[in-house]
Amino acid sequence: MSSTKTIGIIGGGQLGQMMAISAIYMGHKVITLDPASDCPSSRVSEVIAAPYDDVDALRQLADRCDILTYEFENVDADGLDAVIKDGQLPQGTELLRISQNRIFEKDFLSNKAQVTVAPYKVVTSSLDLEDIDLSKNYVLKTATGGYDGHGQKVITSAEDLEEANALANSAECVLEEFVNFDLEISVIVSGNGKDVTVFPVQENIHRNNILSKTIVPARISDRLADRAKAIAVKIAEQLNLSGTLCVEMFATADDIIVNEIAPRPHNSGHYSIEACDFSQFDTHILGVLGAPLPVINLHEHAVMLNVLGQHVEAAERYVTENPSAHLHMYGKLEAKHNRKMGHVTLFSNEPDNVVEFGKGIDF
Ligand code: AMP
């Protein structure tokens, strides 16, 4: 039997594109499902242009591919269940359902994986906010549909309750205690259904709730870094993980608290393309194919800067002045404000001297 597979990727954005590039290096063929025929993946794969909930298009993809995977978690899990054959989606639809809904996700993390999350409660209407102790701070998050800070309300005083009540009455929510973290970190872990491999701990700096800069290794103690990696491995093992998963966490002075999981390669893992011996996309493809997974080594301390629509010119100028920095552009046709257009990875063990494009510094 040929070891060359046809891999179907649901979603043709930058994550799908970088998965496809890894798959192509390994000799596989890729077909992408995306609503836009000119999506980033169209540069490297055939595209079936159809909405994600188009069951006929999903069936066509399933019929033509050996293995299916997805680049984002808001895939129609029921639609997928209706068309996939046994074992064709190694990541499974259960993981999709967990990561699509913060209530399921919190329940999975705290009760099944038994890792530490911020104290939380499920909120079904504003009545559930009536008796909260306002000596503490909270974040109210809608259970579904939120991303990059959308669908969230921080509660620090009674004045925030009007907006919080409106949010709570508009959708099911979780109310989390606010974590006074030192750093936001994340860990990429990949599985092949049996074994897992884990990447170094990443430190993440957000601007306007969008990832702006990732520093690797994160500037936390070895003890906390080992703990963060052990938590990611524990979650992966509980899931019998296939493919790549990102675990986002908060690091406090002496603890690691899990915030959320993303069942796919993640923006904070892009540095791995150059800085590690295998990227998070390579291990994703190996993992969903059930292939043996390598131990991951970090070659050099790295910094990744996101290039948003408003940063494209600055980033292009930056790499002409710093030719050892790696510029990745995803091939998006329109550079909208805050749209992720690309990223830059460079090797540096002085991360504070690597200035984000969004910081208004002249390059
Ligand atoms: P999320 O959508 O859950 O990733 O949250 C977006 C951002 O809000 C995170 O990256 C944090 O900066 C912040 N955040 C979320 N939950 C909490 C929390 N419980 N305590 C403090 N900050 C939070």
Whole-angstrom distance, CA of residue 345 vs CA of residue 348: 10
Residue to probe by mutation, ligand 1, list 139, 167, 260, most atoms within 8 Å of CB: 139
Do 339 and 191 lie in a common domain? yes
Residues 75, 212 within the same domain = no
- Mean pLDDT across 282-287: 98
Torsion of CA 279, 285, 291, 295, to 10 degrees: 10
Task: Give the pLDDT band (50/70/90) at residue 361.
Answer: very low
**Neighbour tally for 179: CB within 10 Å:** 18
Cis bond upstream, residue 90 (ω within 30): no
Residues 215 and 310 in one domain: yes
Which residue, among 191, 183, 187, has the nearest Cα to 201 in the 3D structure?
187
Same domain, 123 and 53: no
Identify whether residues 189 and 300 lie together within a single domain. yes
The beta-strand segments (E) located in 109-255 are 120-123, 138-142, 152-155, 173-177, 183-192, 196-207, 210-216, 242-251
| pLDDT confidence of residue 362 | 38
Cα(141) to ligand 1 centroid in Å equals 9
The last residue of one of the domains, among 89, 109, 130, is 89
In the chain, the number of structural domains is 3
Write out the H or E segment, with its range, that includes residue 288: helix 280-288
**Number of the ligand 1 atom closest to the C-alpha atom of 146:** 2
Question: What are the tokens at 239?
Answer: 């899931």
- Output the six-digit token pair for 215: 């520093």
Question: Which atom of ligand 1 lies nearest, measured to the CA of 204?
Answer: 10
Query: What average pLDDT does this structure show over 283-309?
Result: 98
What mean pLDDT is predicted for residues 29-44? 98
Same domain, 192 and 341: yes
For helices 14-25 and 280-288, the axis angle rounded to 10 degrees is 70
C-alpha 178 – ligand 1 centre gap (Å): 8
**Domain around 142:** 119-177
- The yes-or-no verdict on residue 61 having pLDDT over 50 is yes
38, pLDDT greater than 50: yes
What's the average model confidence in pLDDT over 32-40? 98
CA of 246 to the centre of ligand 1 (A): 15
CA–CA separation, 279 and 6 (whole Å)? 20
Tokens at 135, concatenated: 């000596």
In a domain, 73, yes or no: yes
For residue 175 and ligand 1, the question of a CB distance below 6 A is answered with no
Residue minimizing CA distance to atom 13 of ligand 1: 149
Residue 174 CA to ligand 1 center (angstroms) comes to 12
Atom of ligand 1 at shortest range from CA of 149: 6
Q: Whose CA is nearest to atom 19 of ligand 1?
A: 178
pTM more than 0.85: yes
Per the CB < 8 A criterion, the answer to whether 270 and 345 are in contact is: yes
**Average pLDDT rounded to a whole number, residues 322-340:** 96
Q: Which helix (H) or strand (E) holds 215?
A: strand 210-216
pLDDT at residue 86, as a whole number? 86
Write out pLDDT tens, residues 69-78.
999 988 889 9
pLDDT in tens, 218-253: 999 999 999 999 999 999 999 999 999 999 999 999
| pLDDT, mean of residues 29-49 | 98
- Residue 2: per-residue pLDDT: 65
Residues 165 and 81 in one domain: no
97-143 residue pLDDT tens:
999 999 999 999 999 999 999 999 999 999 999 999 999 999 999 99
Q: Is the CB of 184 under 6 A from ligand 1?
A: yes
Is pLDDT above 60 for 363? Answer: no
Ligand 1 centre and the CA of 323: distance in Å? 35
Q: Based on the domain organization, do 346 and 278 belong to the same domain?
A: yes
AA letter at 188: I
Same domain, yes or no: 331 and 245: yes
What is the token pair recorded at 1? Answer: 């039997």
Same domain for 172 and 232, yes or no, is no
* Residues 247 and 323 both lie in one domain: yes
| Sign of the alpha-carbon torsion through 193, 99, 71, 344 | negative
Is the pLDDT confidence value at 189 over 50?
A: yes
In-domain check, residue 200: yes
Residue 209 CB less than 6 A away from ligand 1: yes
Looking at the fold, whether 167 and 201 belong to one and the same domain comes out as no
Instruction: Report the mean per-residue pLDDT for the chain.
Output: 95
- CA dihedral over 101, 70, 15, 184, signed as positive or negative: positive
